[in-house]
Amino acid sequence: MYDNLLYQNASSLLRDDILQDRLPGSILFSGPDATGKLTSALETARILSCKGNVKGKWTCTCSSCLQHKALINSNTVLLGPRDCSLEISACKKTFLNSAINHSHEEASRYLFVRSVRKLTMRFNPVLWQDSDKLSKISKYISVIDELLEQIDPPRELPDFDELSSVCDKLEKEALALEEDLMYNSISIAQIRNVSSWAHISLAEGKKVVIIEKAERMLEGVRNALLKILEEPPENTVFILTTSKRSSVMPTILSRVRTYNFISRTETQSHDIIDRIYHENFTGTIEQYLQNFLPVTPKDICNTADKFYGQVISGTIPDLNEIIKNCNKFDPRLLFRLFLESIYSFQKTALQSASGVKASSLCTTALRNTWNNVTIYNQSILAALENLTKEIALINKTNDNALREAYGKL
């Protein structure tokens, strides 16, 4: 069990709870990004439905496990926002390299196929029934499914040129789906739809509902989820994930068992990257995946530097140009890196009393900017316009503390 979840104590706790039949119907995986929470959630779904003699072995060939490994088992529903593009690009590179080198080919095939389906699962018709976006979603999914059929295990793979073409098309279609239709937060309609689905009984096995980024839910959505967790359907397990447990509603926390995930060391991350992507990379998994960003983290930092310097010196920045240079902040990770860079710049103000106050207010403004975009669906342009005004006002009303402390001006 949990052979592909490395360097996390949560795996042994989950294993014990499952083997002793004490896993509750609602659980929460809490910890930093890129610590294996989604991997663990998908693996838990597979293990709970395994029909093998030895429950939960990754090498199990029962029909349920084969479906789960390819992420096509209809008893699992996945919802929640996620930037999937970098993982898809990284997995494509690994898969094609393995096809050239004829090493780790089967594992790399599953890696790439799963990376694409981690995206498409979020557009399950169960979640989107009665939505005016369903027709548009169906067109994307139909094309992606047709392409996946050509490389799905155990199908014999085409020659390399054709394989490379299929993978390129898959990446292109997946990125278009994510850019066009990926949502920033879970809707109340999705929660209601998944609730109706969860109450439909099964002949065998368990249904699993995986809700990523549970902290990104508006109050009405949280209340709708709470109603399901108060009276969970029989033979259904709800798995919530979050990187900000403190932002999850206390009444929801009271109804789930939390399994904590921790950041890995640099050595552990190096080992994971080597095992999964077969790359000799020094740094975190997030840093490795950032190599596949359309704009480098260094360029994002430089753009944030220029923006911050202009705002605190009283100059109005060209926000449209910033957005253009940052690839419209797509994927959304680019916007997070932009705000994190500003956060690091404004910390120079912590050397004075007025600077401490200004830094605290600036930190709050940055946090609100992120939440306005990711939770309340505010446009990037509007969010940056508000942030520009707030930072300028904070600096002005605190004796220019931000400007005085920022040595680059």
Q: What is the DSSP string of 156-180?
A: PP--HHHHHHHHHHHHHHHHHHHHH
In contact, 279 and 379? CB cutoff 8 Å:
no
What confidence category does residue 53 fall into, taking pLDDT thresholds of 50, 70 and 90? confident
Per-residue confidence (pLDDT) for residue 408, from 0 to 100: 59
Identify the pLDDT of residue 56: 83
Q: Which CATH class is domain 1-78+188-261?
A: alpha beta
Q: What is the mean pLDDT of residues 87-112?
A: 95
Distance CA(175)–CA(295), nearest Å, equals 15
The whole-number pLDDT of residue 375 equals 85
CA distances from 30 to 40, 108, 240, 261, 303 (A): 11, 27, 8, 6, 32
The answer, yes or no, to whether residue 151 has pLDDT greater than 80, is: yes
Reported as a single tens digit per residue, the pLDDT across 262-304 is: 999 999 999 999 999 999 999 999 999 999 999 999 999 999 9
From the list 261, 220, 228, the residue with the least C-alpha distance to 242 is 261
Question: Which pLDDT tens digit goes with each residue over 301-341?
Answer: 999 999 999 999 999 999 999 999 999 999 999 999 999 99
Token pair recorded at residue 349: 């103000």
Taking a C-beta distance cutoff of 8 angstroms, is the pair 91, 111 a contact?
A: yes
Return the percentage of the chain with pLDDT > 90, whole number: 87
Is residue 234's pLDDT more than 90? no
Chain segment 357-371, per-residue pLDDT in tens: 999 999 999 999 999
Coil, helix or strand at residue 260: strand
Q: Is the peptide bond prior to 154 cis by the omega test (within 30 degrees of 0)?
A: yes
Model confidence band, residue 232 (pLDDT cutoffs 50, 70, 90): confident
pLDDT value of residue 351: 87
pLDDT at site 407: 73
Sketch the domain layout of the chain as residue ranges.
1-78+188-261, 82-182, 293-405
pLDDT above 70 covers what percent of the chain?
100
Do residues 398 and 301 lie in contact, with contact meaning Cβ atoms separated by under 8 Å? Answer: no
pLDDT for 80 equals 95
Give the pLDDT score at 409. 52
C-alpha atoms less than 13 angstroms from C-alpha of 218 in its C-beta half-sphere: 15
Q: In what helix (H) or strand (E) does residue 26 lie, and over which residues does it extend?
A: strand 26-30
pLDDT of residue 204: 76
User: What's the confidence (pLDDT) of residue 312?
Assistant: 96
pLDDT at 57: 87
Q: What is the pLDDT of residue 141?
A: 97
Tens of pLDDT, residue by residue over 130-141, are 899 999 999 999
